[in-house]
Every structure is written in C-alpha cells, then in structure tokens.
Amino acid sequence: MGGLLMLLLPSLFPSLFSPLSRSYPSVFSEWNAPRPMHSHLLNRALQQQTSKAQEAELWSPLPNQGWEACADKQDTQSLGRKSQGYIQVFLDGGLNQQRMGICDAVAVAKILNATLVIPYLEVNPVWQDSSSFADIFDVDHFISALSNDISIVKELPSDYSWSTREYYATGIRATRIKTAPVHASASWYLENVLPVMQSYGIAAIAPFSHRLAFDSQPSDIQHLRCKVNFHALVFVPHVRTLGDALVSHLRSPPSLDNASSATHFHKGENDRAGAGKYVVLHLRFDKDMAAHSACDFGGGKAEKLALAKYRQVLWQGRVLNSQFTDEELRGQGRCPLTPEEIGLLLSALGFNNSTRLYLASHKVYGGEARISSLRQLFPFMEDKKSLASSHELSEVEGKASLLAAVDYYVSMQSDIFISASPGNMHNALLGHRAYKNLKTIRPNMTLLGKLFLNKTMQWSEFQQAVQQGHKNRQGQMRIRKEKQSIYTYPAPDCMCKA
C-alpha cells in the first residue's frame, strides 16, 4: 500500500501551475516479448470448463443487502441567505480525481453559502487532455439536479471576469487560496475562505484536490457530496450514446462473420446463464506502475534493466521497493498483477473462453505481447477499438478524459466489474457500484502473490484457493471506516437502511 501511495503522490500534491516536468527517457530496447510466467497453470486454465451451477452463481446479481441509494432523496437545507459570493476551483488529476474534486467543491460552496462557478479542469501533464467540464459532463443537468441545494453559474459575471486561470498563474493574488490543507474541515473553510470571499466577492481555491475531510461533516453535506457524484454528474450525450452502442454490442452474441474465434459459439448459447452478460476488466499495467513496483514481469534481463533505469530517471532512488527481492514483494502482494495473472484469476473464478470481456484500460506496458495470454484465455475480449468504428470514436479519439468517461460508463452498465489495479478509477467504480448494489470483484493481491510464487501448485488447488479467497470480495457491502472516502465506501453516509 505504501508503494501505491507513492505512485499516487504526484497527483495528490501537484504543484498546480507548474506542471510536473517529467523527463521521459527515450525508448529503451526492452522488447523481448514477455513470456508467460505461469505456463503450468495457463495450460490447464485454457481447458477451463464451467459447470452450469457455477456459472449461474457467478453471474447472479447481488442479493439485497439492506442498503438503499438515497442521496438524491433529500435536498439540503433550502437555499437560505442570498449567496455571499463566488467560489472557483481549479482541479488537477485525471477524470476520476477531478470528479471527487467537483463533489467537494459543491459541498464547500454549500458550507459557505456561495455560488459555485463550474469547476475548471486543468490539463493533465501526463494525459494532455484539455477537455473542459462541459466537454465531459452534462452541465445543464448538473445545474438543475442541484438547483435546490446550491446555485451554480457557468461563467462569472463580467465584474469578476478578471478571475481566470491566467490571472492566478502570473502572480500572487489576494483572492487565491493556496494553502487549503489536505482533508480540511468545514470550519477551516469558514475561517479562511469565507473572509476572503466576503472582502472580494470571490475566492479561488487551488490546489483543491482532496481538500475536504471525509469525517465529522454534517450528514446533509455528506448526502450532498454523494448526490453530486451519483446523481448530478452524468456524461455528455455523445459519451452516453457511444457507451450504449458498446454495451449493446457486448450484450449481443459475437458476430459470426467477423471474429475468427467465434466459430465455437454454437446454437443454444442463449440458454446459458452468462448469455448476454459481460465483465469489465479494468487493467492498468503501465510503465510507471511496472517500474515503481520493482517486481519481475517475465521480460527477462533486458526488461529488468530498462525498468530499473526508468525508475532511476523518474524517482531518483526514492522508490524503496527495490530493496526487496521479487519474491518478498510478491509475498506481500505488492506486485501489480500482470494481464496473464489476471487471466488466471478470472479462469479460476469460473469465467471461460465464451465469456465476453471488455478491457477498460489505456496503454499496457509491453503492448499486445503482454496481453496475449489473457487474449488466449478470453478470445471474446473487446475494447472500444474492437467494438466501435473509427467514425463512432472520432469525437473521443485522443482525449484521455473522454475515453476514460466511456470506459466508466461501460463499466457501470456491466454485470461484473473487476479491477486489477488500485487507483482512482478502481475506487470511483467500487463506490459507484456499491451505491447501486452491483457486483464488483476485488482481487486479494496478497493471496494471489503467494499463490503465484508457488511453482508446483496444481490447477485444482489454485482454483480452490482463489474461489475460497474471493467468496466475500464480490461486492458485499463494506461500511466506511474513519478517514476512508465516502466516494469509495458510500455506506453509511450516503445510503439509507432499506
């Protein structure tokens, strides 16, 4: 977990107006195609058969767990006094981090009785997507869904039009609040931001990510944050349309003309419990993550050297994992699962070569070679590119936030979601799906690390251990603990006892 935190640090503490200047090392010659690391298991997994009973259980929806989504059922204390001024926030990070920032901004505006200006989304230095709030989210829906809670404006009135990102980037300004502590309390805002807003009519808060505490907030503020996240934020129509098209492809039988592997899809398929259903696999296996972990991923000496060098350039010796051996790291569950390992996990859980799998991911380190074992296990693995035409994709192509929005949408519609990589997307979907009581498999990394270390383990033992270890990790409601995010664990703060 410490290692993961390190990974997230750049996004937790960005220097807002001086983008992380990462010197990306030039291309290394590490392309020895990675070989399967667990071929003894892989060969058996390829013959995976699933019994009818097992399949029915696998795809069955979660039972009612006694919690109801209710964040939209009550408005906060009605808009009382006249707005005291404007609140502006500048949000960095990727789509899912910005999403939390938006929810917190609404809460802060409520606490201060302020009018919120539609949040400004910074261009992420890594993903380079300049999409604005309105390019991603349906602004009119956002404003109207919250109209009984706070007032929101698309733009500042002309009196305040000087308050722009450029204005704050080019000097020290009295209206900018730069010192909001991570997880600040409501009273911090009342003491430090309210006076600025009262003096100038506006306060601009940057940085703002993770700047409102999850604990000790009044329940109406918690409800409001979830109402924003789960009800007020919906994607723009063209993202939803594209998402719906992808979902409809995933729910229909694979086309027999096209997929060469589809020939074993026989008649009668529609009677299966899994027919018309699909799993989303969120796979994050990028070079930063691989390098950061200091684990061995089967690419041989060349890959090890390349990753070590990359690690040195990026973190200059600040990554401590490298003091451990690969075995120690695996035993502690600190190695990201490779696509091959995720494939073995899915097979052991009972998915087989007729399962429709949607891959939500950006670049996979090692490219197609790295996912070949996974594809072998799941020939019906799809992604945006394989399901939609380039014409359909044209509006989102090359825009990281919109691509992530499409994946988010498809993930929310799926029967089962599994994320192999902790991070903002994982947390966002874990929370949103918990709110809607949808099945989500959370791999136990420690267990899997230990199992994969054992090179003599038989498939049946592996399968049994995996199934046993994941019985209670499929979406059973987990109550938020202190300091945890309400957006990841919406019960009890944002849900009602049914």
Ligand X SMILES: *[C@@H]1O[C@H](CO)[C@@H](O)[C@H](O)[C@H]1NC(C)=O
What is the helix (H) or strand (E) element at residue 460, kind and residue range? helix 459-470
Cβ-contact 466, 341 below 8 angstroms = no
Cβ-contact 199, 171 below 8 angstroms = no
Nearer to ligand X, 136 or 387 (CB): 387
Nearer to ligand X, 152 or 405 (CB): 152
Q: Which of 247, 206, 35, 24 is nearest to 126 (CA)?
A: 24
Cβ-contact 183, 212 below 8 angstroms = yes
Nearer to ligand X, 125 or 253 (CB): 253
Cβ-contact 439, 412 below 8 angstroms = no
325 binds ligand X (CB under 6 A): no
By CB under 6 A, the count of residues binding ligand X is 33
Handedness of CA 407, 408, 410, 414 (dihedral sign): positive
What does the alpha-carbon distance between residue 455 and residue 390 come to, in Å, rounded to a whole number? 43
Closest contact distance (angstroms) between CB of 56 and ligand X is: 8
Nearer to ligand X, 253 or 469 (CB): 469
Residues in region 406-465 near ligand X by CB under 6 A:
444, 446-447, 450, 454, 456-457, 461
Nearer to ligand X, 158 or 258 (CB): 258
318 binds ligand X (CB under 6 A): no
Q: Taking contact as CB under 6 A, which single stretch among the options 43-51, 161-169, 295-303, 486-494 is the one that binds ligand X?
A: 43-51
Closest contact distance (angstroms) between CB of 437 and ligand X is: 21
352 binds ligand X (CB under 6 A): yes
469 binds ligand X (CB under 6 A): yes
52 binds ligand X (CB under 6 A): yes
Residue of 74, 241, 261, 476 interacting with ligand X (CB under 6 A) = 261
Closest contact distance (angstroms) between CB of 457 and ligand X is: 4
Spacing of C-alpha 204 from chain mean position: 27
Q: Which of 216, 279, 230, 234 is nearest to 68 (CA)?
A: 230
> Minimal CB distance to ligand X: which residue?
80
How many CB atoms lie under 10 A from the CB of residue 20? 12
What does the alpha-carbon distance between residue 191 and residue 112 come to, in Å, rounded to a whole number? 10
Using DSSP bridges, classify how beta strands 86-91 and 202-205 pair: parallel, antiparallel or unpaired.
parallel
What does the alpha-carbon distance between residue 91 and residue 209 come to, in Å, rounded to a whole number? 6
Site string for ligand X, 74-113 (x = CB under 6 A): ---x--xx--x---------------------------xx
255 binds ligand X (CB under 6 A): yes
140 binds ligand X (CB under 6 A): no
Q: What angle do CA 289, 291, 295 make, to 5 degrees?
A: 95
Strand ranges (E), 215-335: 279-282
Nearer to ligand X, 11 or 175 (CB): 175
Contacts with ligand X, residue ranges (CB under 6 A): 47, 49-52, 55, 77, 80-81, 84, 112-113, 190, 194, 255, 257-258, 261, 264, 272, 352-354, 379, 444, 446-447, 450, 454, 456-457, 461, 469
